[in-house]
Structures are given as C-alpha cells and as structure tokens.
Amino acid sequence: MSNILVTRAGGVATIALNRPERHNAFDDVLIADLTGAFAGVGEDPEVRAVVLESAGPSFSAGADLGWMKRMAGYSHEENLRDAMALAALMQTIDRCPKPTLAVVQGAAYGGGVGLIAACDIAVASDAAVFSLSEVKLGLIPAVISPYVIAAMGERACRRYFLTAERFTAAEAHRLGLVHEIVAADGLAGARDRILKRLFECGPAAQAAAKDLIAAVARRPTDEAVMADTARRIAAVRASDEGREGVGAFLEKRDPKWRS
C-alpha cells in the first residue's frame, strides 16, 4: 500500500497520508514521498490549490515507532541527515507556490502539528486533539519549530513545547494553529467552501502574496535555520536523555526523570 495518495481534479491536488494502521505516523520513506508530492504539485501548472488530508481516524501521530527505534542507534551524522530530510519537507510545504489547506479530522501529534503549521490554511474537526509531545521522549520539536512558532506564537509554544499537554481543537483555533473548527461531518463542506474562495483569486497574485508574507512577517527558513534546527535535534537524539526517553517509550516504562 502506498504511503500517500495523490489525486488531481478540477485544479485541486489532494495529498492524503495513507498509513491509517500506523495513525499516519511518518518515517524516512513517507517523508521522502511527501516531499516529492508537494514539490510535484507545486510545479504543476494545472494545480490551483493543494489539500493535505489523512486516511483513518488520526491526522498524524508524528514519528513512527519503528523509525524512532532505528534513530536511537543512529550516529550523529546519520541523525543530522535524517533531520535535514524532515526540515526539507517542512520547507517544501511552506514554500509551495500554490495555496495549501490542511484538513484535520483527528489527532495530530509532534511532527503532525508541524505539517498543519506549514500549510497556509487549516480547518479541523471539533474532535481533533493536538500535542507537541517530543519532550515526553526527551526530544524537542526542532525542525518544525519555525512553522509552529509562526502559527501559534512564542508564548503558547513556551507552554506546549515544555508540557507536551494535549490541547483541543478549540484551543488550537484560539492560538491560531487552525483557522476554523467544524463538526466532523462538516469538514468536506468547509474544505470546499475555502477552495471556492481560493479559486476566486488570481493564482499569480496568491503566489506573490505568499512570498510577500515570508519576506515581511519573519525571516525565511533558510539553509542556516534548517541546519541549526537539524543540529539541535541530532544532538538531542544522541544525548543520554534522548536515548533514555525513546528507550522508555519503546519499553513502555517511565523514563528516569519521571520517577
């Protein structure tokens, strides 16, 4: 089964995470597939807008357990290459020249929150829940941080990066991570309504407007920022605390600092 499904219809490219049995958690293969898909639709002149959605009850659980287990044995250099691949995915979504819309039907944890934050617009079911859960594993939400901080603000991130608390769709809306919340059976209608509005606007102007926002509102996530955040997560993954946190999670026990 393919990790992602890409369909095109009526000027809309829909990219669907397709690992419902793994709660759409991502590994190195899914990251590569998703990066390629966004790059491809971004270059397609027939595409006016891009929808990111997921199969199954969860939007994305973040990192896949098998991938995390492999990462625990990676060298610093391997961790750095791995982290840069995720950084490249986030940048590819963020810099996609077409309007991007995340449709969030369920739980989004860790990197799943990063995917939402990297999109231009997000609509969520009122049943969706969110968490920046990395510190529970002794890790940090490093490469997704430029996008999540831009979406939620520094003050909110000071709480949710540090506590790893779950928060509701209503809180995600209040913080600005999602623009709209609807009942689960209203997601398709909300998606179509937003797409209709996007199609009323000039595509070249939309691309220019996205570039304007990046230039004016914040420093673009350039190679230096990507390298810095990748170095940070590579160092933390290889640290004693990082190895202990991931090991405890995989072994279904409390990490040492919790006891």
Report the catalytic residues.
Answer: 134
Angle made by CA atoms 84, 87, 92, in degrees to the nearest 5: 125
**Cα–Cα dist 35/172, whole Å:** 25
Cα→Cα distances 6→38, 54, 207, Å: 10, 11, 21
**Cα–Cα dist 243/249, whole Å:** 10
Buried b (16+ CB within 10 A) or exposed e, 192-216: eebbeebeeeebeebeeebeeeeee
**Cα–Cα dist 73/28, whole Å:** 15
Q: How many CA atoms lie within 13 A of 228 on its CB side?
A: 7
